[in-house]
Amino acid sequence: MNTSLLERRHRLLGKAAPLFYDQPLHIVRGQGVFLYDADGREYLDAYNNVPVVGHCHPTVVQALAAQAAQLNVHTRYLHENVVDYAERLTATFDASLAMAVFTCTGSEANDVALRMARTLSGREGIICSSSTYHGNTAAVDELSTIFSGGRTTSARVRAVPFPESYRPLRGLGGPALLDAYVAEVEEAIRSFEAQGLGLAGMLVCPIFANEGLPEVPAGYLERVARLVRQAGGYLIFDEVQAGFGRTGRMWGHQCAGVVPDIVTLGKPMGNGHPIGGVVARADIVDAFREHVMYFNTFGGNPVSCAAGLAVLQVLQEEQLLANAQEVGAYVARGLRELRATHAVIGDVRARGMFWSVELVADRNTREPAPAAAKAVLNAMKDRGVLISRLGPFDNVLKMRPPLPFSRGHADRLLETLDRCLADLHV
């Protein structure tokens, strides 16, 4: 590790600026699904979802470079790129989701989505899940229950227990479990109304990524969608992690078969270039723009849209959704096999090229094993494979590689994980 670089960083960015791993990595180069450190050591990247079509994909790099040399300016002049990109992007959604508002980050997208819901409903209450994170602006941070033990710090946000089957609410199962999770949403709506705040909307990740990618009781999203709309609220899906092919479908909500009113986008949208956005019903965008002068200086600029267009092109040309399905299922099978030999694996969950492995101290009590998760991800790094962890107990291994992840890469991931899990027992 580069000690003087770390010291300078501490001095200039602060000691608490987040860094991965007990011994931080000094990464200097990326290519495809690999990252390389300053000593030339190669790491298989099974963590980074932002470079969705692979680190430094030449099609994206060339699109960025060519457009940056030609023109980069705001959207108050006409330009093809922002229109072409909005057209190709909205074409990947249900026909009702027909308009786009571009931002620079997923945080900005969620911030403007909350503004839309609150402005158009004339109400304040937002429902989120009990173990989530949607971004860093002041308004969006009110939903960051993952840092606050599931509680919200704002009266205008209520967290409901996220739907899951591994540690089910009150130990319930079957239809009773679904009913119980839905009843929590009903109760949140009722309490907003009783307080005079009313319901503006519900904002969730359609695959509950930060919650640990739980197995969601079938029918949950349909039923809460109905409740939210009956109460006059807007259903907002955060596709920042779930979107752009991650699940093997273009959008996470397509797995659930529920069409939201507003979708928010970010992270993989420009393969690392700062671009985010909202895709929503045309009547919502029109009404919002009538009420609010929203302008984003960099949002939708020709360079950002060139990156966005290039990502859509590569996803299609390289058939990365099909790859996410196929290699995703292959890894999921491999992880389930590992569960047979490693008692520490309590549960394996998968959605396309997104896998979570829940580590537990005891399979019967399902007591979380966060220290084991931390040990495994540091050991994986030492063996040249990058993963992370997540979930309300920080005990869930999080694997979410760039989508051009092959069976060969998958084998290396699985073999390395097998070894690191075995080392836990030593």
Per rule CB under 8 A, is residue 286 in the interface with a second copy? Answer: yes
> Minimal CA–CA distance to 169: which of 125, 225, 129?
129
Any residues with CB less than 8 A from the CB of 103 and at least 6 apart, and which? 109, 112, 275, 276, 277, 278, 296, 299
Q: Which of 297, 316, 319, 341 binds a second copy (CB under 8 A)?
A: 297
Beta bridge partners of 103: 276
Residue 167 interacts with a second copy (CB under 8 A): yes or no: no
Shortest Cβ distance from residue 85 to a second copy (Å)? 9
Is position 298 an interface residue for a second copy (rule: CB under 8 A)? yes
Nearest to 48 by CA among 403, 410, 425, 417: 403
Closest CA to 266 of 426, 140, 392, 127: 140
Structure tokens of 320?
């990365």
Closer residue to a second copy (CB): 121 or 325: 121
40 touches a second copy (CB under 8 A): no
Kindly state whether residue 422 participates in binding a second copy, applying the rule CB under 8 A. Answer: no
Stretch that binds a second copy, among 15-23, 216-224, 358-366, 395-403 (CB under 8 A): 15-23
Neighbours of 282 (CB within 10 A): 12
Site map (CB under 8 A) of a second copy, residues 254-273, x = contact: ------------xx---xxx
* Bridge partners (DSSP) listed for residue 399: 355
Least separation, in Å, of the C-beta of 9 and a second copy? 5
Q: How far is the CB of 224 from a second copy (least distance, A)?
A: 24
Structure tokens at 391: 């979930």
User: What is the residue whose two structure tokens read 């967290």?
Assistant: 159
Nearer to a second copy, 220 or 298 (CB): 298
* Burial environment of residue 293 by CB neighbours within 10 A (0 to 12, 13 to 18, 19 or more): exposed
Site for a second copy contains 274 (CB under 8 A): yes
Which residues ranging from 186 to 245 are in contact with a second copy (CB under 8 A)? none
The least distance separating a second copy from the CB of residue 14, rounded to whole angstroms, comes to 5
Residue among 94, 166, 172, 294 that touches a second copy (CB under 8 A):
294
Between residues 57 and 342, which has the closer beta carbon with respect to a second copy?
57
Query: What are the contacts of 363-367 at 24+ separation with CB within 8 A?
Result: 366/166, 366/167
Question: Are the beta carbons of 385 and 43 closer than 8 angstroms?
Answer: yes
Q: Which stretch binds a second copy (CB under 8 A): 57-65, 174-182, 247-255, 351-359?
A: 57-65
Burial of 174 (0-12, 13-18, 19+ CB in 10 A): exposed
Q: Return d(Cα 50, Cα 48) in angstroms, integer.
A: 6
Q: What is the largest CA-CA distance in the chain?
A: 64
- Contact pick of 22, 29, 96, 367 for a second copy (by CB under 8 A): 29
Least distance in angstroms from the C-beta of 138 to a second copy: 4
Within residues 107-166, the interface with a second copy by CB under 8 A covers: 107-108, 111-112, 114-115, 118, 136-139, 141, 144, 147
Could you give the string, one character per residue 63-92, with x where binding to a second copy holds by CB under 8 A and - elsewhere? -xx--xxxxxxxxxxxxx-xx--xx--x--
